[in-house]
């Protein structure tokens, strides 16, 4: 079977998606979702402190883990229907577009880890500032090239700063004032 094609939002170029890559990705998502769901189930539910099941710390991560498992299974079924389960039937190496997508995913992972493990709580940077820096840089990294091609570089920078500031304020406000969570 031939690989499926997808149209990207930026530029309208088509990327070949290998059914085998989808199948492998599906197994990774199912495994990760199971790990998240199991870890959430094993978390302390704070029943000794009078917490209800709806306020348990692992509730939302558990639901998200279960959703990842479900979507991973759906992806596996789609990939198997497209022939991804046959050894050697579909190409293994990603196309140029696939490599570019993998590079973007790598940048997302690196930036997320730097934000969560490096800046928030451990880097001595206030939460609101870390969030502002993360969101602004994220938008600049993934949107500025497309804006530069349209001669909208300044608009893109201003938008990134505005969205970063708004996100930092809104997230900080919601967690501190509505959820009563002390942020680092």
Whether residues 86 and 126 share a domain: the answer is no
Q: Which of 14, 66, 56, 62 is nearest to 39 (CA)?
A: 62
Distances (CA, A) of 184 to 37, 56, 110, 114, 159: 26, 21, 21, 15, 26
Residues 67 and 105 reside in one and the same domain? no
Q: pLDDT tens, 49-84? A: 777 777 777 888 899 999 999 999 999 999 888 887
49, 73, 90 - which closes a domain: 90
pTM: 0.61
Residue at which a domain ends, from 42, 72, 90? 90
Give yes or no: residues 75 and 122 share one domain.
Answer: no
Q: What is the per-residue pLDDT across 14-28, written as a single tens digit (0 to 9) for each?
A: 666 678 778 888 999
Structural domains counted in the chain: 2
Q: Are residues 180 and 100 in the same domain?
A: yes
8 plus 84 within the same structural domain: yes
Question: Which residue range(s) make up the domain with 69?
Answer: 1-90
Whether 120 and 98 share a structural domain: yes
116 and 42 fall within a common domain: no
Comparing 84 with 127, which gets the higher pLDDT? Answer: 127
Q: Which of 90, 123, 140 is the last residue of a domain?
A: 90
Whether residue 42 is found in the same domain as residue 99: no
* Same domain (yes/no): 84, 99: no
Total residue length of the chain? 184
Note whether 169 and 132 are within 8 A (CB): no
Cα separation, 43 vs 46, in Å, equals 9
CA atoms of 171 and 64, how far apart (whole Å): 20
What is the C-alpha separation between 75 and 111, in angstroms, rounded? 26
Whether residues 3 and 73 share a domain: the answer is yes
Residues 74 and 126 in one domain: no
Strand ranges (DSSP E) for the chain?
4-7, 14-17
Answer for the pair 101, 15: CB distance below 8 angstroms, yes or no. Answer: yes
Q: Are residues 81 and 28 part of one domain?
A: yes
Mean pLDDT of the chain: 83
């Amino acid at each position: 079977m031939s690989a499926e094609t997808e149209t990207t939002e930026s530029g309208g170029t088509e990327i070949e998606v290998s059914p085998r890559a989808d199948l492998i990705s599906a197994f990774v998502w199912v495994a990760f979702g199971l790990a998240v769901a199991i870890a959430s189930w094993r978390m302390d539910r704070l029943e000794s402190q009078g917490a209800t099941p709806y306020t348990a710390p692992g509730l939302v991560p558990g639901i998200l883990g279960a959703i990842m498992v479900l979507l991973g299974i759906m992806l596996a079924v789609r990939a198997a229907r497209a022939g991804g389960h046959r050894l050697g039937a579909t190409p293994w190496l990603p196309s140029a577009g696939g490599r570019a997508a993998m590079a973007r995913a790598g940048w997302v992972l690196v930036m997320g880890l730097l934000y969560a493990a490096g800046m928030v709580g451990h880097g001595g940077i206030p939460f609101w500032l870390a969030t502002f820096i993360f969101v602004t840089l994220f938008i600049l990294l993934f949107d500025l090239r497309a804006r530069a091609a349209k001669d909208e570089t300044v608009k893109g920078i201003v938008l990134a700063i505005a969205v970063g500031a708004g996100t930092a304020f809104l997230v900080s406000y919601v967690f501190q004032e509505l959820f009563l969570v002390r942020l680092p």
